[in-house]
Amino acid sequence: MSKIESAFLKAMKETQQGKSSQDEPKESILDKFDYAVPRKKETKDLVSSRKQISKMSQDELFKTIDFHDKRLIFSGMKDKILLNKYRNLRTRLLASCPEGKTNFITLVTSVVPKGGSSLIATNLASAFAFDEGKTATLIDANIQSPALNRLLDVETEKGLTEYLESEDWSVNEVLYKTSIPRLRFVPSGLVRENSAEYFTSDKMKEFVSELVKRYPDRYPIIDAPSISESADTRILIELCDRVILVVPYGNCTEEEIKYAALAIGEEKLAGVVLNQF
């Protein structure tokens, strides 16, 4: 048994302590790694969605060398193994879409700082945007140490913090085009010291709600600070439907993995990405 599996089993055992033996057994976190087939949309809705999304304007796209240099996935890349891993992760997320919802919010966080969550979040968002009937919104919620502007080569004047400070801005004020087809971007904005106050605000709840309700075929992906580094991530987890945990290989302990799993909770932890191995 690997260190990761051992840590998750210990974490889930602790969450089950104190429960009655008569309780129905719950699905194990490890079971969530199994392949599942997503629910299909009706053909009519899918065709309509594709027509609307095809009208989205797009700036100059990244060239193949740009994708390689930035370690970003793209549909024509030669490394099919890596490409399919992200596609399978997208499929698992779609299969776990909460009942009655057309889309959902996924948060990506690392066990420890510098675990690679920004790259994973961007590639996951790209995987959703591969489908011509879907779009994705990548949100940089790492206010203290944002990385997505540089990764996406997007220059921005305002972002999430300015939006949350405003009284009458719409989401469109901070929604930027990128050089990846059908992928939109919300930058973090200016650095603020008390970022937790922003994420607990009513404006943040309205922001999240508008993203999922206004754009039913757009899948928001939040790049959050590492769960061991920032209290912001715990706050953001409450606003999300699913969480992807990034485990940097060889750079975190079994206890740190267990702590991260417990902080996320079995209900929201959708999968794990082993990075940098």
Q: pLDDT tens digits, residue range 38-96?
A: 444 444 444 444 455 544 556 668 999 999 999 999 988 999 999 999 999 999 999 98
Handedness of CA 236, 238, 244, 246 (dihedral sign): positive
**DSSP tally for the chain: helices H, then strands E:** 11, 7
Angstrom distance (rounded) from CA 272 to CA 133: 26
Question: What does pTM read for this prediction?
Answer: 0.82
CATH assignment of 71-275, given 3.40.50.300, 3.30.70.270, 3.40.50.1010, 3.40.50.1100?
Answer: 3.40.50.300
Q: What is the mean pLDDT of residues 234-254?
A: 93
Residue pLDDT, tens place only, 123-160? 999 999 998 888 999 999 999 889 999 999 999 989 99
Q: What is the mean pLDDT of residues 219-234?
A: 93
Angstrom distance (rounded) from CA 105 to CA 97: 10
SS3 206: helix
CA distances from 5 to 33, 107, 181, 249, 251 (A): 11, 21, 36, 13, 16
SS3 258: helix
How many other β-carbons are positioned within 10 Å of the β-carbon of residue 271? 17
* Residue whose pair of structure tokens reads 């901070």 in the numeric block: 174
Contacts (Cβ under 8 Å, ≥6 apart) of 172: none
How high is the pLDDT of residue 58? 61
How high is the pLDDT of residue 176? 94
How high is the pLDDT of residue 191? 80
Residue 19 backbone zone (phi > 0: left; psi -120 to 50: alpha; other: beta): beta
